[in-house]
């Protein structure tokens, strides 16, 4: 392995329910609706894709930029009040950064990626960060992972990807990466997606060099 690429939502921060709450609030305030599987369906989408979903499928009658900007603003306020950093996230990042260059490949908007890493004090560990709004297609397409590998100047097949969701696992696998899954119990990945992972962990506390590369020395 030449590098490690982290997803962010659901891997470093426990954020999926926060996204769901904010999108639901905006949808209902704006005359739209919310379905039980709406958040699940939007997981992995780029900002362009989930905004279109909210407009076309949920009936949110606002301009695309207004939807994106309002969700980002509300999310940023929540994170500044209390960042839901997942247990062992900081330690896992610091541990792997001692051995490999790191990147983030996230479906979050660019301002949210930067804010999370700043508030968590982790920005110095990531040489590259990519938002799926900066590539043609969101997850499960491989674009965001391929762009992160390109930024790191490494072969995608020499990268390990840390993921939690159905679309994220499929995205990293389609990019040819070794996928390490750390599923979230509240939004578990589909069984067929989870089967694509090389390793499945119960928590980030188990994410060690020997998991990324079996020949690596345990740290």
Per-residue pLDDT of the chain (219 residues; tens, 9 = 90+): 999 999 999 999 999 899 999 999 999 999 999 999 999 899 888 889 999 999 999 999 999 999 999 999 999 999 999 999 999 999 999 999 999 999 999 999 999 999 999 999 999 999 999 999 999 999 999 999 999 999 999 999 999 999 999 999 999 999 999 999 999 998 899 999 999 999 999 999 999 999 999 875 544
Q: 99 and 23 in one domain? A: no
Q: 96 and 47 in one domain? A: no
Q: 168 and 127 in one domain? A: yes
Q: 147 and 71 in one domain? A: no
Q: 186 and 108 in one domain? A: yes
pLDDT for 44 equals 84
Find the domain containing 30 and state its range.
Answer: 16-81
pLDDT for 218 equals 47
The reply to whether 164 belongs to the active site is: no
Q: 150 and 76 in one domain? A: no
Closest CA to 115 of 7, 11, 13, 6: 13
The catalytically annotated residue of 9, 37, 143, 164 is 9
Q: 125 and 31 in one domain? A: no
Q: 112 and 53 in one domain? A: no
The catalytically annotated residue of 7, 14, 69, 205 is 7
Task: Show which of 81, 107, 137 is a domain's final residue.
Answer: 81
The reply to whether 9 belongs to the active site is: yes
pLDDT for 217 equals 52
Q: 108 and 9 in one domain? A: yes
């Amino acid at each position: 392995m030449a590098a490690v690429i982290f997803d962010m939502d659901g891997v470093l921060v426990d954020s999926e329910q926060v996204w769901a709450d904010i999108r639901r609030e905006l949808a209902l305030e704006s005359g739209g609706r919310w379905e039980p599987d709406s958040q699940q369906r939007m997981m992995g989408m780029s900002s362009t894709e989930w905004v279109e979903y909210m407009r076309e499928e949920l009936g949110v009658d606002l301009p695309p930029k207004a939807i994106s900007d309002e969700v980002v603003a509300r999310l940023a306020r929540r994170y500044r009040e209390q960042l839901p950093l997942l247990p062992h996230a900081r330690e896992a990042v610091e541990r792997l950064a001692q051995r490999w260059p790191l990147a983030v490949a996230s479906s979050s908007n660019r301002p949210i990626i930067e804010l999370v890493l700043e508030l968590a004090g982790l920005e110095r560990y990531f040489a590259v960060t990519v938002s799926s709004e900066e590539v043609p297609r969101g997850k499960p397409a491989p674009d965001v992972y391929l762009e992160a590998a390109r930024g790191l100047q490494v072969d995608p097949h020499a990268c390990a990807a840390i993921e939690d969701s159905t679309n994220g696992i499929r995205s990293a696998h389609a990019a040819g990466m070794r996928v390490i899954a750390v599923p979230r119990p509240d939004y578990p990945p589909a069984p067929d997606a989870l089967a694509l992972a090389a390793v499945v962990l119960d928590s980030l506390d188990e994410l060690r060099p020997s998991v990324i590369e079996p020949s690596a020395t345990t740290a």
